Structure 1
């Protein structure tokens, strides 16, 4: 063969092998193919939901666009380092680095897509911030995965390993030389590669680069999530964590004075004086109930007890004990959770704090001390305060939040003596309530007022509880309906003991859910899944059916007033003993969407804020559990009213104006 032929053959081989771009281009092609195939499989699986949206073609087109973003993001670092491939003695190391980096990137994409079906089954959306947050708690998460999702876990790991081996074979295929290109050729194409990577990541010529809001093409949040890849969803959530303090600004921004004025412009706040410029929501709440000796307070925070399980709220008949108890107190017939996670429920019920798109304040750094809670208010007037939990209190940062904000005693799993049953999430609910009863008896004997928060956990995946306690609602045993029925039974046993105790007549009890079990649906916000039961009973409470629309943040001010505790605090919820006739409102945070729901004459009216700064109006019919979105634009007045309410908590947190040390200036 002539020298010219050899040289020409070598040139063609090197051109085909693409020099330093060999692994990068293979990664891009493989990544886009794998993500598209995964999206196709998910669409086939969820075709009934997708078909209702009539965006099938747009879903795939926009999906490729979103996939290009994540692939380009994963290739940014090796592309930036391409010039090293032409440096003597560094070229070999660069090729090894790009090989392992690209292989790891593909493994990440594959693993996240394989984890997606199980996550959708649980949360009705692709993996998001929760996927990262729960990595902090490997014991609880691994236990839940092993006992509740063992088959998907094993299959996912095996499939990831098999696909990794397959991708490695593709990477190693061919007989290409890893010799570097000339400096001129490398640098020339490198400039082009940087432009392409930048364009791919930005994906738009608009003022702001593309983000998940751009791909929200339907009113079904699950279908919207299918447009993205799971890796993109999680990576964007991680990126967004650094913007927590300003998270509400994704909806728009009002001037501070206007925001404060509109946030406090509600009928039940008219009688209060907000006169401290350093703490704009601080006010003196005068208890409506006059008592010589204020009542104790016990809150039973039920894990995942949505209205879907309560017969009198249109759900299943798996809570007979609660149905009996509701006849003995104030029953909230139209109560809504602020979010979908336990920490969001804690934030609302215990701190009376409204929701934001950020993490719950239970987890944020600036709220770990001097943050207004029921515990901090009551501790300041001489109450003994405690938190009782069947698991480990460090989970979801609860120990830090409570101990820094007024809770003096924490009773957790290792302090529960001789439990009859221990599952993935700790001691069973009956062990929890037995311990709580003993604790309340001991506190009562000290003849000091007390506040106790009891947080259940048996109604949590993988739904473990002892045998022989209940007649199963269905087979097999480990189902949510059976777990709810067991949790209800355990609570019923506790209240039977409490009614016979010395502390009953001196104690006010609240039974309320932190959130529903699974918040999902084909609406932009599945409103029906935010509906939860709430009941105040004990002491001298008279039975009452409260039909007014209410939010979890209204419970704390109502409890303080019923207990006979007057105080200065920063909570902006509604005291129903002061005003139970004005039309109510609820605040709902779902993923990156925020809704203000107000009570209308016949139905509930919603303003939904979207993360792209746009808004949409809706009407919710609670009996039919139907949300109808309007095609008419939202008025500026209504949008600003909702915007003020979601901007307020971010402002209070960021400026540290929700302090338990706030003082009231009375005129």
Structure 2
């Protein structure tokens, strides 16, 4: 006797059709991505096992989407409610397919930009619809329209299949529904958990190759995005995905660096200590930090990149040039927390966006405000983006100058006023501060080097055609920077000011290395009236800049900074801390210890000439694992317990707050 699928599945037939449709779409998308990235996929592992693992990951996503209707089935799927049940299943399936199709279709463009499937960045950018839509419309209009049209076509086709399933559901008895329901619940639970191990499967479970992008292709984009949303809700303990250490060991191992050995740390605030400036001054100097958007070593010829920064190449002959400076992450807010706060990276969001860091969190702004400085943030776009305004104003910045305060900009693009408008405004502001006779600190954040790469005509000789490419945008940003420094040298404040020019991160993070070390390499340059020209060759991190700057300014003060002061020692070996998606790497010279979620750490060696990362089959020693783990657990601990600040004096105005906080 032949039993049809709809008769066998009974009330669950619409859900079975939905599940099969989802699996087919996800598998088809994965095969297409594998073909597109065939060379990297084939170089990383055998393709068939990866495809099978992909189906397993897809079953997790499908199982998650089945949870709600399956739990409601005993009440909604009774014989008397058959029509309502069919309509509900149809609508639920259509919603799920809309999400899956749209995210999968947007995946190729996301991979082109970030060299990984959509993840938490995909979610975070949804908070800024105006900026995102403007970028998509001006930079990816054809891709956007094609994606919307293709989504609509696929949904129409999927809807036909779902309607057919809705109209052909087999009649059944309530007893059949209720007796089969426990079995269906167990089946969905098994799909979602996907393993009998202690922990359920997650994206790290499918990270089976040494190429992070290939690992991301194994799972689906909707699953990656959903897991990112889930992770955002549990960020307080996100760093513990790598393992745990005792509090004492975290502090001991994290502070076990030569430049910290002679310091006396506060008993209750693990990193707080007195910083003694190496260059005492009768009157501390001003500070200007120019944070360059996405200006990685990729675009600096002397660092092995494309020759599109001629102005920076000239300037590097005039100050401290860091040959091996590395960003802590791949987002602007990550660069901000490292440069402005000297804070180490974690797998969680940057503290710029986290609630417990919106007040009483150490920044150079708060430190210098205590020294009598006027502090400001100057930005060509809207300062609310990425929560920058709230973070800065809550942590020591007196003034925010953004797009609405830029007078008569000559050019406005998707991300705000052009860099030359930004620097013109900044120069006017600095001249006013100098005329007022008050020391100042200003953070200037550029934005012209940002997709869709819009900038005014007639400023530079284009590096390539068409105009709106990243190389041309970088060359324009470099031009604007050169103009600003030239103007500053002619201004009265130049003789009293230290300048730092540094990138927040590189532009696109890609490559077949487990951690794309080469895309963390960034330029950094310190200029000033008495800053001698020299190259600094040891590996350095963005978190080393803040203590170095305090010394050059002549500021001796209590501080929680644990970066290296390069004014004391610019030649001994250094280290860098790299956070790439869910991977954390401690880089010491060319050796890296890479921590992975729910997996054993790996040792790797980076060749800066070939830009290749070679992983070792030898296990990482327990001592080295603890050393690397402490680097990422310490900032998590400091954030959760609100300890990344200096102890408040007993007679301060915030005594009650000081007693209330840890």
Query: What TM-score range do you get, normalising by the shorter chain?
Result: over 0.9
1:290 aligns with 2:280: yes
Distance 1:166 1:379, change over 3 A: same
Match of 1:25 among 4, 8, 16: 16
Match of 1:543 among 527, 533, 543: 533
Determine if contact 1:507/1:538 at 8 Å carries over to the other structure.
yes
Matches within 5 A, 1:196-345: 196-274=187-265, 276-345=266-335
Partner of 2:177: 186
Q: Deviations over 1:20-43 (max 9, x none)?
A: 212100011111111111100000
Q: 1:571: Cα distance to partner?
A: 1.4
Moved more, 47-56 or 296-305: 47-56
Determine if contact 1:616/1:629 at 8 Å carries over to the other structure.
yes
Match of 1:648 among 612, 631, 634: 634
Match of 1:415 among 398, 402, 405: 405
1:575 aligns with 2:561: no
1:378 aligns with 2:368: yes
Distance 2:194 2:424 in 1: 58
What is the DSSP-based 3-state SS (H/G/I as helix, E as strand, rest coil) of the residue aligned with 2:228?
A: helix
Q: Deviations over 1:214-240 (max 9, x none)?
A: 100111111001000000000000001
Q: 1:182: Cα distance to partner?
A: 1.8
Q: Deviations over 1:124-159 (max 9, x none)?
A: 111000111000000100011111111111111001
Distance 2:5 2:38 in 1: 45
Partner of 2:580: 590
1:399 aligns with 2:389: yes
Q: 1:17: Cα distance to partner?
A: 8.0
What is the DSSP-based 3-state SS (H/G/I as helix, E as strand, rest coil) of the residue aligned with 2:450?
A: coil
What is the DSSP-based 3-state SS (H/G/I as helix, E as strand, rest coil) of the residue aligned with 1:173?
A: helix
Q: 1:538: Cα distance to partner?
A: 1.5
Match of 1:112 among 103, 113, 117: 103
Determine if contact 1:354/1:587 at 8 Å carries over to the other structure.
yes
Moved more, 52-61 or 523-532: 52-61
Matches within 5 A, 1:25-104: 25-87=16-78, 90-104=81-95
Match of 2:591 among 575, 582, 605: 605
Partner of 1:136: 127
Matches within 5 A, 1:441-590: 441-590=431-580
Unaligned runs of 5+ in 1: 1-7
Determine if contact 2:544/2:564 at 8 Å carries over to the other structure.
yes
Distance 1:591 1:401 in 2: 23
Q: 1:89: Cα distance to partner?
A: 5.7
What is the DSSP-based 3-state SS (H/G/I as helix, E as strand, rest coil) of the residue aligned with 2:523?
A: strand
Q: 1:411: Cα distance to partner?
A: 0.2
Distance 1:84 1:453 in 2: 59
Distance 1:524 1:638 in 2: 19
Q: 1:170: Cα distance to partner?
A: 0.7
Q: 1:14: Cα distance to partner?
A: 9.7
Partner of 1:4: none
Distance 1:549 1:66, change over 3 A: same
Alignment RMSD (CA, Å): 1.6
Match of 1:152 among 112, 131, 143: 143
TM-score, normalising length: structure 2: 0.96
Aligned residues: 650
Unaligned runs of 5+ in 2: 651-662
Distance 2:603 2:74 in 1: 53
Q: 1:13: Cα distance to partner?
A: 7.9
Distance 1:392 1:553 in 2: 26
Distance 1:14 1:110, change over 3 A: closer
Q: Which runs of 4+ in 1 moved over 6 A?
A: 11-14
Determine if contact 1:284/1:567 at 8 Å carries over to the other structure.
yes
